[in-house]
């Protein structure tokens, strides 16, 4: 486990044939495709910028605050499968059953991947921590003290769009995870300069939002959160939406 390629192979092997990546209730529907992996230096100055109020906030912790002597942050993106994505294309204002399972059972799989990667690093002689599994992790006013998407930006995986989804070369429909370690790995080169560089401002996500939370000026998170909470009451124990991430040009790629 000494470079990005070995980590990518490790995670791809973990996904392949893993029963946690299937939903028996939906005819063994596969949730995720093979992941993308990015590497960031724990000392990248952008981690300090995340503490700025206009970015995330002063409560956002740096890698070395999570793990003293941290050297590397491993970030990954798990793209949803074709079935999960296409099921949510309907413009009916409700998340599909497949998407709801992808959101909840998918995040359970994501947690298993975080745990697996952490344990593999420790087995190899390093130290590692997944912030979302740490008791210090918390969310305040819908802003966490470890933002997986902002970390993915620093690790070279992509940029944000109007709806605050995150566009990678495999699109925006999926889940993110990360692990901090004291292993020294070469950072991924960021092929972009601006935090919205991959968004072409086409406005497709604006039309897809059931509660009109997205505009050319960005996203109002309050109506989005209220809608997701309503979906939780309707579909408990599952919830979600994902309309702005599906049936849009950036669903599976960087839009032209």
Q: What is the DSSP string of 163-181?
A: TS-EEBTTBS-EEEEEEEE
Determine the pLDDT at residue 141: 81
Alpha-carbon dihedral of residues 123, 125, 131, 134, nearest 10 degrees? 70
* Residue 17 confidence (pLDDT): 86
pTM of the complete model? 0.96
Q: What is the pLDDT of residue 142?
A: 79
The answer to whether position 154 is within a domain reads yes
What is residue 175's predicted lDDT score, i.e. its pLDDT? 98
> For position 204, what pLDDT does the model report?
96
Spell out the per-residue pLDDT of the chain, length 256, in tens: 789 999 999 999 999 989 999 999 999 999 999 999 999 999 999 999 999 999 999 999 999 999 999 999 999 999 999 999 999 999 899 999 999 999 999 999 999 999 999 999 999 999 999 999 999 999 988 789 999 999 999 999 999 999 999 999 999 999 999 999 999 999 999 999 999 999 999 999 999 999 999 999 899 999 999 999 999 999 999 999 999 999 999 999 999 8
Asked whether residue 41 is assigned to any structural domain, the reply reads yes
Looking at the domain assignment, is residue 256 inside a domain? no
| Structural domain includes residue 253 | no
Q: Which structural domain range is residue 121 located in?
A: 4-245
Does residue 254 form part of some domain?
A: no
Asked, for residue 255, whether it belongs to a domain, the answer is no
Report if residue 250 sits inside a domain.
no
- pLDDT of 65 reads 98
User: Looking at the domain assignment, is residue 238 inside a domain?
Assistant: yes
Q: What confidence score (pLDDT) does residue 143 get?
A: 86
Half-sphere exposure of 4 (CA within 13 A, CB side): 19
How many domains are contained in the chain? 1
């Amino acid at each position: 486990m000494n470079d990005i390629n070995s980590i990518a192979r490790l995670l791809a092997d973990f996904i392949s044939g893993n029963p946690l990546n299937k939903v028996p209730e939906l005819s063994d529907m596969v949730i995720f495709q093979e992941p993308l992996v990015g590497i960031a230096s724990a000392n990248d100055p952008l981690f300090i910028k995340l503490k700025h109020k206009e970015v995330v906030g002063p409560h956002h912790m740096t890698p070395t605050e999570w793990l003293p002597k941290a050297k590397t942050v491993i970030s990954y993106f798990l793209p949803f499968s074709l079935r999960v994505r296409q099921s949510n294309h309907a413009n009916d204002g409700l998340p599909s059953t497949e998407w709801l399972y992808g959101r909840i059972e998918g995040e359970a799989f994501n947690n298993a991947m975080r745990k697996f990667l952490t344990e593999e690093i420790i087995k190899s002689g390093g130290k590692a921590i997944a912030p979302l599994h740490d008791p210090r992790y918390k969310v305040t006013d819908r802003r966490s003290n470890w933002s997986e998407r902002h970390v993915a930006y620093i690790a070279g995986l992509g940029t944000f769009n109007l709806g605050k989804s995150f566009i990678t070369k495999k699109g925006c429909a999926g889940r993110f995870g990360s692990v901090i370690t004291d292993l020294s790995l070469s950072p991924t080169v960021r092929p972009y300069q601006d935090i919205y560089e991959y968004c072409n401002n086409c406005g497709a996500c604006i039309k897809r939002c059931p509660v009109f939370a997205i505009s050319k000026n960005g996203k109002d998170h309050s109506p989005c959160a209220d809608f997701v909470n309503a979906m939780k009451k309707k579909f408990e124990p599952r919830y979600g939406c994902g309309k702005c991430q599906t049936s849009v040009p950036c669903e599976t790629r960087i839009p032209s």
